[in-house]
């Protein structure tokens, strides 16, 4: 086994150990949940990275998602013309792309994917897929039906997953709430897949398949970490039960398309507003910190990077090394992983795309970093999930708000756990870069 893969194995173990050390009650950890969660993670990674049928299925999923995305971009090109062309594309009239524009090329795909998911829900297809994953988690890991249902739905949707378990949320235990919040922030909604694919697909052809597999793997990883950080001490109402998702069906297929398209617009407005506010505020904070930090550097004759990105890079540097990133690339990648905490994964993926395009990091590091970033593990997303779940079950506001930061920690560790596992199974001869 390559030395870099051995490091990733160590990283996988270290992250599990850290979650156990940070547990609020180490004595009552249910090891069945942990062991079966790890088994599911390893089996899925083996299927995707090693088995020929798995890699073929992976590439099939990658091609399907890219095909669907191409359909989405037709509407974008119709509305925005040349501005909607992705980098390297040429229109039917011979117009060439002027480069990547996040707001005009990536964000509009959210509307299409939101509508597509709405159609799949209306037809009953999405419910069957979610119940399949939920059944697997409930029976193998021995967790409650409500939290497994929420974790399963989070593979495909975001904070809307709270509506799936609406009838159960008011009676859920604190451990269950921690799990559903962690799973929500450790995965990404299918509507956001297109945004990250648009950013990276030119230099990372198989990005779509990796994002799908990362979101699936992050669901059991989130359960593992949350049950280590906040193990169950009560008796869940739906323990061991296979429950049905709560879903308010539209009256017609066309209504499903319209309602979810409007939801997609709201998501775009929310993301754009969040990025404008957060990036502006963080730039201001950056300038203040750098102003004082530069004086300290002068007085102490040091060369510390006092930017927020730099400071977060120092914080995540050891973790970046232990998940399998080489020393020569760890400084830059630790900054990308660290900045997600305050600037959201949208900014981090954009920075990863820039590094990938420049060729300054290896294909293996691109894959590991992709898995590490695939999740809503940021302070802004935590506020959205806490606010969203509190609106659904206002009587649980106190518990939900208290568990927010614990769940954010858990989500971050879950994505890093999956990233380390991708480092274990990725080899130099892998086809997973699509080259």
Highest mean pLDDT among 51-65, 111-125, 176-190: 176-190
* Confidence label for 250 from pLDDT (cuts 50, 70 and 90): confident
Q: What is the mean pLDDT of the chain?
A: 86
How many angstroms separate the CA atoms of 355 and 224, rounded?
31
Percent of the chain predicted with pLDDT > 90: 35
Residue pLDDT, tens place only, 361-382: 999 999 999 999 999 898 888 8
Strands (E), 215-334: none
How many angstroms separate the CA atoms of 316 and 303, rounded?
18
Indicate if the pLDDT at residue 407 is higher than 90.
yes
Distances (CA, A) of 163 to 215, 220, 387, 416: 20, 20, 13, 27
Residue pLDDT, tens place only, 203-212: 888 888 889 8
Residue pLDDT, tens place only, 39-50: 999 999 888 888
**What residues does 96 pair with on adjacent strands?**
90
Q: Which residue has the higher pLDDT, 110 or 171?
A: 171
Every domain of the chain and the residues it spans:
3-87+96-425
* Confidence label for 434 from pLDDT (cuts 50, 70 and 90): very low
Percent of the chain predicted with pLDDT > 70: 95
What pLDDT is attached to residue 324? 94
Exposure string over 204-229, b if 16+ CB within 10 A, otherwise e: bbbbbbbbbbbbbbbbbbbbbbbbbb
Residue pLDDT, tens place only, 162-182: 778 888 888 899 999 999 999
Per-residue pLDDT, averaged over 81-95, amounts to 70
DSSP secondary-structure letter at 244? Answer: P
pTM as predicted: 0.88
Question: Do 208 and 201 touch, CB atoms closer than 8 A?
Answer: yes
Alpha helices in 142-206 (DSSP H): 145-153, 161-164, 166-169, 174-186, 190-200
Per-residue pLDDT, averaged over 141-167, amounts to 84
CA-closest candidate to residue 181, choices 28, 373, 410, 346 = 410
Q: Which pair of structure tokens corresponds to residue 384? A: 């959205």
* Confidence label for 431 from pLDDT (cuts 50, 70 and 90): low
Question: Do 35 and 28 touch, CB atoms closer than 8 A?
Answer: no
Per-residue pLDDT, averaged over 416-429, amounts to 87
């Amino acid at each position: 086994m390559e030395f870099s893969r051995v490091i990733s194995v160590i990283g996988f173990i270290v992250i599990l150990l850290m979650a156990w050390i940070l547990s609020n009650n180490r004595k009552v950890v249910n090891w069945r949940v942990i062991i079966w969660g790890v088994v599911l993670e390893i089996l899925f990674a083996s299927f995707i990275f090693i088995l020929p049928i798995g890699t073929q299925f992976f590439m099939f999923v990658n091609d399907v998602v890219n095909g669907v995305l191409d359909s989405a971009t037709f509407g974008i090109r119709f509305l925005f013309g040349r501005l909607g062309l992705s980098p390297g594309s040429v229109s039917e009239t011979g117009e060439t792309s002027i480069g990547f524009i996040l707001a005009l090329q990536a964000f509009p795909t959210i509307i299409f994917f939101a509508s597509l998911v709405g159609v799949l829900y209306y037809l009953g297809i999405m419910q069957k897929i979610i119940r399949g994953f939920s059944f697997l988690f409930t029976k193998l890991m021995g967790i409650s039906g409500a939290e497994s249902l929420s974790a399963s739905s989070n593979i495909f949707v975001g904070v809307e997953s709270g509506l799936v378990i609406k009838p159960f949320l008011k009676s859920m235990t604190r451990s269950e709430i921690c799990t559903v919040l962690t799973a929500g922030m450790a995965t990404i909604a299918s509507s956001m897949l297109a945004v990250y694919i648009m950013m990276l697909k030119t230099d990372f052809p198989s990005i779509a398949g990796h994002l799908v597999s990362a979101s699936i793997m992050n669901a059991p990883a989130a359960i593992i970490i949350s049950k280590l950080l906040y193990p169950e001490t009560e008796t869940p109402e739906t323990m061991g039960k296979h429950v049905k998702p709560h879903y308010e069906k539209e009256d017609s297929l066309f209504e499903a398309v319209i309602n979810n398209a409007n939801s997609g617009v709201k998501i775009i407005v929310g993301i754009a507003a969040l990025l404008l506010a957060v990036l502006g505020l963080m730039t201001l904070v950056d300038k203040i910190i750098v102003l004082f930090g530069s004086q300290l550097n002068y007085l102490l004759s040091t060369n510390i990077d006092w930017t927020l990105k730099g400071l977060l890079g120092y914080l995540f540097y050891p973790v970046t090394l232990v998940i399998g990133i080489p020393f020569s690339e760890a400084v830059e990648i630790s900054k990308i992983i660290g900045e997600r905490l305050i600037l959201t994964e949208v900014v981090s993926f954009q920075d990863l795309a820039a590094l990938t395009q420049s060729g300054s990091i290896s294909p293996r590091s691109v894959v590991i970093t992709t898995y590490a970033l695939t999740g809503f593990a940021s302070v802004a997303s935590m506020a959205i999930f806490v606010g969203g779940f509190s609106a659904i079950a206002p009587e649980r506001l106190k518990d939900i708000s208290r568990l927010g930061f614990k769940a954010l920690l858990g989500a971050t560790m879950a994505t890093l756990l999956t990233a380390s596992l991708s480092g274990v199974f990725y080899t130099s001869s892998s086809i997973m870069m699509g080259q």
